[in-house]
């Protein structure tokens, strides 16, 4: 197992074991934002959008559904389909 070392010490309630929007925000901010655009080390994950139910492939730790733009993320420590979290239909990433 590769150790990410993210821990849960950077303030805020989010952490690698958060759910939903908190997990998405954690991944978004992890390592000063350097994690979210990286390809998932174990390989892309085929998922179903938790917003619109479209099938798509999550290739990076944080990704958007191509159909509805719903933001999904997975913790780098355990990037498997069961751990993919959906930020919710009203969530948009800070730009
Ligand atoms: Zn969708």
What is the DSSP-derived secondary structure letter of residue 39? B
- Residue 95 forms part of a structural domain: no
- The model's pLDDT over 57-82, given as tens digits with 9 standing for 90+, comes to 999 999 999 999 999 999 999 999 99
**Cα–Cα distance, 73 to 70 (Å, whole number):** 10
- Residue 92 forms part of a structural domain: no
- pTM attached to this predicted model: 0.85
Distance 32 CA to ligand 1 centre (A): 26
- Residue 15 forms part of a structural domain: no
Q: How far apart are the first and last CA of the chain?
A: 33
The pLDDT assigned to 70 comes to: 97
What range does the domain containing 29 cover? 20-86
- Residue 64 forms part of a structural domain: yes
The answer to whether 54 and 67 have CB atoms below 8 angstroms apart is yes
Distance 81 CA to ligand 1 centre (A): 15
- Residue 11 forms part of a structural domain: no
Distance 2 CA to ligand 1 centre (A): 30
Q: What is the number of structural domains in the chain?
A: 1
- The model's pLDDT over 18-63, given as tens digits with 9 standing for 90+, comes to 999 999 999 999 999 999 999 999 999 999 999 999 999 999 999 9
The pLDDT assigned to 4 comes to: 59
- Residue 91 forms part of a structural domain: no
- Residue 6 forms part of a structural domain: no
Distance 46 CA to ligand 1 centre (A): 13
- Residue 50 forms part of a structural domain: yes
């Amino acid at each position: 197992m590769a150790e990410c070392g993210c821990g849960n010490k950077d303030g805020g309630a989010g952490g690698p074991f958060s759910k939903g929007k908190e997990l998405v925000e954690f991944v978004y901010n992890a390592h000063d934002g350097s994690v979210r655009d990286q390809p998932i080390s174990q390989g892309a994950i085929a998922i179903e959008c938790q917003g619109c139910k479209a099938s798509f492939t999550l290739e990076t730790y944080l990704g958007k559904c191509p159909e509805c733009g719903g933001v999904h993320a997975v913790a780098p420590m355990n990037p498997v389909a069961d751990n993919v979290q959906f930020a919710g239909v009203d969530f948009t990433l800070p730009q």
